[in-house]
Structure formats: structure tokens, C-alpha cells
Structure 1
């Protein structure tokens, strides 16, 4: 099932080259880093484009009929130039409800990892595309910019929360330096354009149910209205609910989503669509780990919840051993907070023996950690054929998000109850609205696209502590809330508000001077201004140099501007199935918006003076990317190879030393880095007859990213020069292989991926070992049974050989190593899930 995608995906154009779908179809020691991660076409007329401003320069081959006896795997995707489209058939090779980015992760040069098999916990999920993290990849959903994909971002929505994966029809991907016509402020290292499925012409319904290991249940229901009148008005509404318990603790992950889409055709070649999505995620996250924890406490070290007594004991231990409390037995203690510290009978200052050997001690794991997130997204799209040669596409959209990210803090006393621990809650939110508009004009051998994008985003971020009960005097707070059970927040760490206005304009032309050759060229201009910053800071909680408006935390405006960001792509087809392509693009990313603690944002520094220095001297991150590639495509062989080079300027590094709960953080400009690499892939389908559906795909990727300037990132004493050091968390070498077979209603696949060594510290003195990951799946389509249609049964095994591996890295930032004094270690690793089994049954009516 994976072979078709991998076999044709090599390279990275800055322009879309795939045809659109038809229109029819505390104490100071308690300070902690903020959890911010780092109708079909008529003869002679052009089919309506999908939502957004994506320009087609070449038609796509028609898909095979669903009832064909032998389905060729390679038909699950199309590739042109250095762009690939992942079809619905490919997406369905994953367990229903899986994060859609996992399918993209099968492509060469893409590294996807998650702490849970379905990828629901966005804290433990990461995507890298040729050295660019998920905060630097341009993403849209039906033309709506999704922007930054990192955890609790105030600049965008994760695609896993933006739409039910069952209702995504396909993905168009590019691995270059972004797309000229793609709206958004996070596009540096490629683009991903997600397209939702259209309502069906005939009324009906679909239900699927997933059963999995550790009590996993996932239900999906969709109802289609069918065409309601002669104009073709139609809509659908869908609901999904996923319950996914952790493999090493009795705490769950829960997500439910409602989405709907309405399509109103206008004539035979235009339409208006409206869509809405609501998502609710209530997730108990996995405990963050360090190399010290993995070595001394073990891979299954997990948060205490629901064992409140164990967490209470560990908090008492922290007060005795870290805060110097003279413990004489159960009772009340005066710790100078104005509230007695209560250590009741039945508790004692203890931690597991193995924890005493870790660098983190009582902080090896907290009582709980997780998130409560509510996301809303809606849009109206008008895709209008003004003439046979001129189209106008406009999208109006709005989105909102409210996030609560939590830790059970063992070092900060609950001042309202006297308990030694409290619930630390980061509260991030945004309200954004905007529009995109573009004209596409076909004239002679040219397809000219001109358009723009505007967005306003009102953003907030705050850090609060809430009371936990004294042991035996009430139930502890849940990581998903409510948090005010024992009163309002007793302490605030900081408060930030910002307002961001983003503008973008682009011009591009796809020119076909001779048969087989397409030259696409253009540029985009971008302007973004963010104003605001801290309105409150509490020095007693470790933030700023004062209290309130005079906190000394960063406040002020930053402007990012680039008048001319050019891009050129050449794509030449010759002979039978041969293709060569070249791509160049320059891109710029505006300054990220995030609060204090561990993020790569100017507002994340610890003082106003440091922020003012960045205002005067910090340029925007830019890159220049070049790609050259070759592809051969036939029914039996798909082969591709390409090479790429990027010059990356002004990439920001969030450098931290000290413990996780008391970091000293600075934002450092790395000045210049270089990256070069190569991808190669081969898919073989050599047989006919019964073996026609057998495909074997292999791909290999190599990436070499090094910092090029002398930059000392030690925030205190010592020299920590990053020149010549390699990038973190992304493997230099990846190998992926997939063997798949389809015949009539049966299919099976066996996939194995190899991920090479990943550096953990900036000084490259610590790293995560390579690992192999294998998955196995089988599916049988029974067809129609009585009134039920397309009855399907699927079985999947995740992590077939039960490999121990680290998934997410750097969720709390990365250690420095070298002379920084941190030993190259930090509590900023997430273990990947153990072997798990999933079964899915689905049917339509």
C-alpha cells in the first residue's frame, strides 16, 4: 500500500504541479519551560479547482475503477516534477483515525514520530521534512492556512485537530522551500495541501469502528444528504470519537471531532463551499524522559496519576531534599509562604529507589501531565469560472483555539490548601480570521496566477498554578480540568497578549514553451507585524525582574518584511516515462510568537533589555533551496533520485541550561547553516496475472546539516561554539521499505523503516541510537452485503517487533552539552509506543 507513494516522491518544487480534483467529486526552583514546541470537466473547459489558490499545470491520470479485480498499487498517488499527491487509497492503509501526517511520513526525507500509535497526543508528535521542523512547513486545508503545527501554538491548528482524517480526500506535498501561492507564515521547508472530501451525490451513511490494544476504541459516523435539488446542493456531517489508553499507565487519551461540508454548484464549472470543524482533545500525556531517566529509572517510568499518594510522597521528598525542609514527621510546617505546609499522616517523603539515581530526583515524573484543547475552524470558499480562461478563487475563514497544558508541580505549594504540590497550567488561546483571493488566467501557453492573503490573529498566553488537595481531603485535580475545584488560581507566573497582522502577495506563471517542458516562475511578498507582549510577570515565580506591568518581561512590536522572494521550477518530460526537474526558491519566515521559556521567539527571552536588542539586531530566518532530480515511470518500474542544497540564515536556537524546572533560557541567532542531501527510491511491480498487485518499494535518504558560523550558545560561562555541529532530532540516514499485495478484495502490507542516529545536544556529545520500526497490516473488502455496502475488515500491528525507541525529541527544548554544565542531557524525550494491535470494521449504507 505504501509503495506507490514512496516510489514517486523525490524532490521539492516551490510550485504546485498536480491537477485539481473535479468540482463534483512557587518556589524559584519550580520554574518550568513553557510547553511550546519547539462536476467533472466539460470538453474544452477546465475543471473547477479545489479550495485554495493551487494552480494546475498538468492533468492527472484517471484513477482505476473501484471494482477492478487487481488494483495496481502505484495508482494510489501521482507525481509530477518534484511534487506528489497522496490519494485516499493510500491514506486508508493506516488505522482509521490515525494522524494524517503519519501517511506523509512514509515519503523519503520525511521523519514522523509519535508517542502513541494514532498520533493523537500532539505533545509527543513531530514531523521533519528534510531538516525542517513542523513549525517551518507550510500547510493548508482547502486553502485555509494551518500555520505552525507545534503543541499549543498560538499561530495555528494542528491538522490532526482541524479535520477528521476519514474525510480527507488527499494530500499534495512538496519538499522544497515552500510554495509561492500557498498562504501562511510558516513556509520554509516545503508544503502540504490537504483536501477534504466532497459530499456524495447519493444520500447515505458510513460507520467504522476500531478496536485496539489497551482498551483503544475509535468510532466514526458520517451521513451524506445526497443531491437535494436540481442545482446539486449537497452536504455531509461527520463525528469521530477516539479513546486511547496509555500502555504504561491507567490514564486515557480522548478526542472527539465534528465536521461538516456543504457544496453548492453554480452552473457546470463553479461552486461555493462551506465547511466547519470542532475538535475536543482531552489527553493525559506520557511522562517526559531524559537519558538519565532511561538509564537509571527505566523506559516505563510514567506519571503517578491516578496514584495521588505516590505523587504526594514524592512532593514531600522534593521539599525535604531540594528545598531544605527539616522534616520531623507528619504535621504542619511553616515555609514562609503564609500558608502552613501540610504533610498528613499516611504520607512520607519518599521516591522510588531508582529515582534517586537520576538527575531529576523527585521530578523524574510528576503527578500528571497533559492537555485540554478545544479548536474551531470554519470557512466559505467561492471558486468561480468568470470566463473560459479566467477563474477567481476566494476563501474567507475564521478559527479559534483554547488550550490548557498541565503538569502536577511537586515543588510549588498550594497556598489555598497547604498541599506541597499544585497543578501548573499554561493557558494559550487565539482568535484568527482572514481571507485569500487569487485569479488564474489561461492565455496561450501561459497560466498566470495572481493573489493575496491577509490574516489577523489575536493571541494570549498565561501561566497559572491551581490548588491540589491535602492527601485524604478530596480528589486531586484532573490534568484535563476543571482546575478551580479548590479555588481560583493562587499564583500567576506571566501573562502575554499579542496582535498579529499578516499580508502576502504573489505572482506566478506556468509557461509551456515546447511540448513536455513547463517553466514555472514567480515571486511572493510578505509583511507581518506583531505588537504586544507581557502585561504581567511574577519574579517570585521566576519570571522577569519585577511584578505586574513592570515585570521586565518582553513587550513591543516586531516586523518581518520581504518584498521579493523568487522561485523558479523547470520540469521536462521526454521519451517514454522520463522526467527531469530543477527547482530554486528563496523563502522567509516571520518571527514566531510565543511566551517565555524554551521557544524560538523574540518574546521568549527573559528580559526587556534582551528583547530590545533583538528588535534592533535580529533578522528574519531565510533560506535558499536548490533541487535537481530525475524520475522514470512505467507500469512495472518507478525510479527516482534527486539532490538538494539549502543555505539557511538566521535560524533561531532556544538555548537552555539548568534543570527542567529552573532553566536559564536565551534565544540565539545561529547566523548561517548549510544543508545538502539526496533521496532515491525504487518501486518494482514486475509481474502480471495474479501477481500483478505485488509491489516492493525501497527508498533511502541522506541529509547533512551543519551550522557554519562561530556562535557561542552557552548562556552562562564557558564556550559552546556550534560551528560544524549537526542539527538535532533529525536522522542523517533513513531507509524505508514496503512490500504490498492486492488482489480483488484482499490486500496486505509489510513496512519497515530505519531511522539513523539523532543528535540530542547542540554540542553533539549526546545522541539517540538508531532503530528499526516495522508495521504489518491486512484488509479484506467484502463488498455489498444485503443493505450494507463496502463492508470492510482490517487488521494492523503497530511496532511489530516491539522495538524500544524514542519518538519525540526536544519537546521542552534541547540540552547544550559541552562546557554548559548540563551534561548534554535534559528531560525532553518521549518514548514511542510498544507493540499494539488494531482491528477495524466499516460499512456504508
Structure 2
């Protein structure tokens, strides 16, 4: 598994915190089938895939009434984007969200998301209530998520997670994906795309319609995508299957089953430091041809991954005043995150013990050879979140729990190379495809097995006052995490782990001034449990010495966040303004550790941090077929203390936190008259520091994207056929899109006690260049 990378829409749902999330017109539309036509207001229409053309801001904003900040994009926006766009790219225009990616088409796993300056490892990701973050390192890989054609909406709660969310890492908010429901009519939807980098993509969804008296309805979809790397050699390939089954009965009863299968091979892009970027720009790539001893050959950086996951949300009305909700989920993932390295044929160590063998490696020169350093991960994960809500007049009391079990096994074997530089098997399904010792064992640089169990209980109480104009929410959650691991390397630390329990109280209030204006405020607490990388030391295979020490004393990150906001929902204009403030202790920032050529996730404790700022967004309902949207953020994120480095302290107090642009904003303009449509968007991201000492940063950058499309008359059985051209990075701007791996200091720095603390260069993601994709689609 790559450690470097990272239900139906209801009219309202009571979540574990007692916070109410009420969908607006776009949310209430649900997932319409190809044959259904819903007219909302003058000029409304229905496309082949549920687009109605009446959403405010072109689908970039919707009515929100909960007592916390939240932004949502709906099908009217999603369906106009490139079908290969991932969930991060789909929400890149909403306030607070800054997306960095190496691939304009959305296939690469090298993509990052920050929200209010907090990285993706601090942002929980859910699909129909099921967690999608990596269980060990908390990264998210949106190219593996559900296909965009099957998404009903993507929302970003910038502040914090609901109490019932099965997440351990949501200090920076929650990205929530809602899948579309199957249609009540039999039929389907198909699209095909071709574009830049010899990209091609095909998608088909088959709808069963309602199956007789059973009330069941389902869909099954399949997609295939492939594209050359936007920089250098390599070709990404992706296959994906989504299945959803829904049953509704009685008043407020429904159950659904969502299953996803994913299989992909993607080739990594180099993440340069600033010097390499200035020297080579886009030409900073892995080698296109192989020569003996070359560990920089592109075939050594192919990342295969396959997964299957399933979610089972269930809602039952037990009595008119008693409601049961349950979400069960199960996941399996397997993959390899390799990199090139040079391995000596003798004098090697496993853990702290010498290897007696002298290896015979193809391409050996002067006692060493280029090999592939593999990092193989296999994860089994399952969990359940039951809750029960009692409605007693103006009071709504919820009691629930969460249990999760995660079993993960990670190893780092090595693969010999053929004369042309090709490794035997990048999937490593069989041990004999790797380098073996004379006794038949794999030569390993790491071998860890981790069991993580999470138990949580939560209770919330929502009280409606003043004829429901004033709502008060009180909530409390006790989260208990046990992470225990075993190290299989000889002579190494054998066992490690931790047990932690965190109390998470919260309070929120909402006041409806009139039919159009609303005020809200909240104070919440969140925490981030340490990742697996902190529990075990890594060892240098050439000496047996510790390369990076374990840190079993790393405390969980804890944060207290406050928001104060105003929303307006008028006949034409929708908008919001939110003030926010965070205070962190044991702030955890993700970076990477280089383990003999394979990069694995690591964590830096940045101590205390204070972040405060303003988010705003406004969108207009269609006016003469035009729907403008604007969003922006001002952020001031400051490190509160000096950071330990060896036996000294780096003078970081008062510095700006890494990955926290002071200003960011976006503008979008949608035109849609039912036949012709188009979208133009521009996103600005300010400069970002990449070190805790603020001694290196990347410049600001702006990206413009465009969509042009036309809907055609029905042709035989093809319903609402459509042609669409998506252009990403319209101006072909060259920029560093984000900080990949921050460091404490880039330049040599004198510590508080007079020690010279050596600098280390951070690395960056290079923004994808220009890309165009032409798509034809139709319902049937």
C-alpha cells in the first residue's frame, strides 16, 4: 500500500453531534434516472445524468442550515467536469480548500488537499458514512474513490466532524461523498472520452429499475481509464466497478448496499526540491531508458493497487419517536509503493543482524546493483456505527457507539531487475518474485504487523426553542484507540504500541433571523492519533544501525476550534461568511522517511499552533442562464513554540505554519440554457512556506479551467446525448502546486542554545500542465 500518497440524500439527517444538515434544492433532487424529468423554476430541464440547470452558482453552492460551516458541490457542477476528475479536484473552488496535484486528469495518487492550512491527514473522508482514509497513515487517495458519474454530491465541512463520523483524523474537517441512488426506471448511462496524453476513458452504468413488488432497485457500473504521464515516461491504467442496491419502505425506513472494486497501476512523478525545480522545471523526470546501476529508471516507480470496500447504511423508524441508524463497512486493500535504490551484494543487514549471504544480482557493478525497493501493504478493515435517536417534542437525544478493527501487514522486500531494467513483478503476489536468501526467506528492510482497535461512545442532545428558530446542540464523545504492532526483523524492537483515550465535548447554536438569514456558532474538539510510522525504528540495511528512531511517546494532536458564521439564502443569492479560530497542541505534520529508497510516511510534532481567519462564498441562482460563484479565504496560521531538533530548539515561535497560504480564492461562471453550457473557473492560491523556519516557500499560482458543451436531441434510444470539452490549466501555467514533504529548516540555522542545525530541502508537487478531454455521453 502506498504510504507516501496519500444513502441516499435525505431532506434532513440528525447526526451524532445533534447537528442538523438540511439539504437544499439540489440535495433534495436525489439521483434522478435518465428517463425522469424534474423542472425546478423557469427554464428547468433534466439531462441524461440528473443535471437540472437550476442549481445556484452552477452547482458550486447549495442551501446549508446546520450550525457549522459546510460547502457542497452538486451534480450540476460535477457532471460538467472531466469524468476522470477526482473528489479533491471537484471541491477545489470552495473556500478553504487548496488542492495540489501532479496530474491534470486526476488519475495519479500524488495529490494533496489542505483545508484552512491543515493537511489531508487531518481531513476525514467519508463515502456514504464509510471512512476512506488510509487506516495507518490517514492519507486519502481520491483517484481510488467512486466514479464521478455515480456521485450525487461532494461536501466539505471545513470545521470538524460530526460525532457519529467513524474518523480519528478530522481536526481539519470532513470531505463527505454521497453516492447517487439507483433510478426507479430500467435503463442506463454511457460515456466515452479521449484527450491529451493519449488518454481514453469509458464508462457504463446499467440500472435495474424497481424490481417488481420487492421494491429493490440497483445499478452496476464499470469504467476503464488510461493515460500517459503528463511528465516523463509511464502510463496510468485504472479499472473500477461500483454497485449499489437500495430498498425503501414505510415512513423513514431505508437500507442500501454500496460495493466498490478498484484496480490500478500508476507511475510516480518525481517530487523535486526548489533547486531542481529551478534547474529542470517540467523536465525533472525519471529516466526514460535503463543502464546498469540506474536506480532512477521510471519502471521502478510503478505503483499497483487494488481494493474492495462495502458500506451498508440502514435507517429504521422503530416508533414515531424512536429512530435507529446503523452504518456497517468492510474494506480490503493491497498494493506496492516501490522506488529505485542500489543494493550491495554483501555486508547487508536485516534489522540489526548481518546477512551471511553474498547475493547474485543481475547488473552488478563494483559489488552493487540497482534494484527495486518495494513497500508492500495489505489491510483488512471493518467497523460499525449504531445509534438511536429519541424525539421528545423539542428535544432530540442521540446515543451511539463506534467500533473498528484494522489488521495491516507491511513489508519491504527487494526485486532484482532484468537486463532492460524491468522488475520481475510489481504486484509481488508471490515471494519468489523478490530477492531471496539462501534459506528461502525474503530479504527484508522492514516487516511490521499492526492491529488497531477503536472504541467510541457518543451522546448528543438537540433542543429546538422559539418555535425552532433557535437550536442548541450539546455533544460528547469518548474515543479510545489501541494500536499494537509487531516487528519481524531480527534483532529489532519486537513489539510496540499505545493506548489512548480522548474526551471530545462540543456545543453549537443556530438562530434563524428570518426566512433568508441565519446565524450560527460552535465550539468543538478534535484529535489525531499518531500514525503507525511513529511506533517502530527503521534500520540501515548497509550497517544495521537505526536510520530513524521510534517515537512511542508522541502524543495525539488535540485541537479546540470555534466558528461564528452568517448565511443568506434568498430567491436569487446564496452566501455565507464564517470566522474561525483553532488552537492546537502536539500539532502533527506529515512528511516522509527515506528507507533505503522507499519513501514511507513519517510525522513531525510541530507543538502548538494557532490558526484563525475568514471564509466566504456566494453564488447566484441562474439569471439569463448565467450562474456566477465566488469564494475566498484569509488565513493566519502561527506556530506557537520552538521546535525540538536534536538537543537544541529551532526558533520557530511566531513563524507561519507550513502549507498555509495567507490568501486564496476562486471565481466560477456557469452558462446553461439547456442546450449549450459552459463553465469557466479561476483558482488563486497564495505563497506557502515549506519549512517551520519559514526559510523556503513556493510562489503563488493561479489556474484557470474551462468546460464547453452541447446537448443534442434524442437519437433513437440514446436519451439526451451530450458532447463536452474539458480543458484543465487553460493557460498551461507552470507552477509548484503544493508542499509534498515539509522539513523543519531548509537553511543551516543556529538554535536557541547555539547549535548549528543542518538544513534539509523540502520537496514539492509539480502542478499538472495543460490537458483537454472530449467526452460524449448519453442515457438509454
TM range (shorter): 0.7 to 0.9
2:72 to 78, 81, 85: 85
CA distance in 2 between partners of 1:678 and 1:586 (Å): 19
2:462 to 507, 510, 524: 510
Q: Find out whether 1:72 has 2:54 as its counterpart.
A: yes
Q: 1:816 to 1:293 in 2, by over 3 A?
A: closer
Superposed, 1:448-463 pairs within 5 Å as 448-463=397-412
Identify unmatched segments of 5+ residues in structure 1: 1-32, 316-362, 537-547, 595-600
* 1:354-404 per-position Cα deviation (integer Å, ceiling 9, x unaligned): xxxxxxxxx6x7663131101110233332111122211122221111120
Structure (1 or 2) with the greater helix fraction: 1
Match of 2:32 in 1: none
1:785 to 715, 720, 725: 715
SS of the counterpart of 1:421? strand
Q: 1:125 to 1:175 in 2, by over 3 A?
A: same
Identify unmatched segments of 5+ residues in structure 2: 30-37, 45-52, 346-358, 438-442, 540-544, 750-755
Superposed, 1:696-711 pairs within 5 Å as 696-711=628-643
Match of 1:217 in 2: 200
* 1:152-208 per-position Cα deviation (integer Å, ceiling 9, x unaligned): x56686444242221121233311132222122122111222221111111112111
CA distance in 1 between partners of 2:340 and 2:585 (Å): 39
Q: Find out whether 1:235 has 2:218 as its counterpart.
A: yes
Q: 1:90 to 1:520 in 2, by over 3 A?
A: farther
CA distance in 1 between partners of 2:139 and 2:591 (Å): 24
* 1:54-89 per-position Cα deviation (integer Å, ceiling 9, x unaligned): 964656445562796253341732222422333222
CA distance in 2 between partners of 1:510 and 1:52 (Å): 10
2:764 to 829, 833, 838: 829
Match of 1:603 in 2: 536
CA deviation after TM superposition for structure 1 residue 666, in Å:
8.4
Structure (1 or 2) with the greater strand fraction: 2
Match of 1:393 in 2: 325
CA distance in 1 between partners of 2:549 and 2:233 (Å): 43
CA distance in 2 between partners of 1:101 and 1:411 (Å): 38
Does the aligned pair in 2 maintain the 1:49–1:383 contact within 8 Å?
no
Q: Find out whether 1:742 has 2:672 as its counterpart.
A: yes
CA deviation after TM superposition for structure 1 residue 480, in Å:
5.8
SS of the counterpart of 1:493? coil
Match of 2:245 in 1: 262
Does the aligned pair in 2 maintain the 1:749–1:777 contact within 8 Å?
yes
CA distance in 2 between partners of 1:183 and 1:815 (Å): 35
CA deviation after TM superposition for structure 1 residue 267, in Å:
3.3
Does the aligned pair in 2 maintain the 1:284–1:479 contact within 8 Å?
no
CA distance in 1 between partners of 2:134 and 2:114 (Å): 13
| More displaced 10-residue stretch of structure 1: 58-67 or 628-637 | 58-67
Does the aligned pair in 1 maintain the 2:446–2:538 contact within 8 Å?
no
Match of 2:266 in 1: 283
* 1:438-479 per-position Cα deviation (integer Å, ceiling 9, x unaligned): 1122221122222111011011111111101245xx855575
Match of 2:496 in 1: 556
Match of 2:512 in 1: 573
Q: RMSD of the TM alignment (CA)?
A: 3.3
Does the aligned pair in 2 maintain the 1:112–1:125 contact within 8 Å?
yes
TM-score (norm 1): 0.79
CA deviation after TM superposition for structure 1 residue 674, in Å:
0.8
Does the aligned pair in 2 maintain the 1:34–1:812 contact within 8 Å?
no
Match of 1:760 in 2: 690
CA distance in 1 between partners of 2:528 and 2:590 (Å): 16
TM-score (norm 2): 0.85
CA deviation after TM superposition for structure 1 residue 805, in Å:
1.2
Does the aligned pair in 2 maintain the 1:658–1:822 contact within 8 Å?
no
SS of the counterpart of 1:764? coil
CA distance in 2 between partners of 1:127 and 1:401 (Å): 22
Match of 2:124 in 1: 138
| More displaced 10-residue stretch of structure 1: 775-784 or 476-485 | 476-485
Q: 1:663 to 1:175 in 2, by over 3 A?
A: closer
1:530 to 473, 483, 491: 483
* 1:743-764 per-position Cα deviation (integer Å, ceiling 9, x unaligned): 1222111111111111122221
Match of 1:380 in 2: 312
CA deviation after TM superposition for structure 1 residue 821, in Å:
6.3
CA deviation after TM superposition for structure 1 residue 410, in Å:
4.4
Q: Find out whether 1:111 has 2:85 as its counterpart.
A: no
Superposed, 1:678-717 pairs within 5 Å as 678-684=614-620, 688=623, 691=624, 693-713=625-645, 715=646
Q: Find out whether 1:625 has 2:593 as its counterpart.
A: no
CA deviation after TM superposition for structure 1 residue 784, in Å:
2.6
Match of 1:648 in 2: 584
Does the aligned pair in 1 maintain the 2:2–2:377 contact within 8 Å?
no
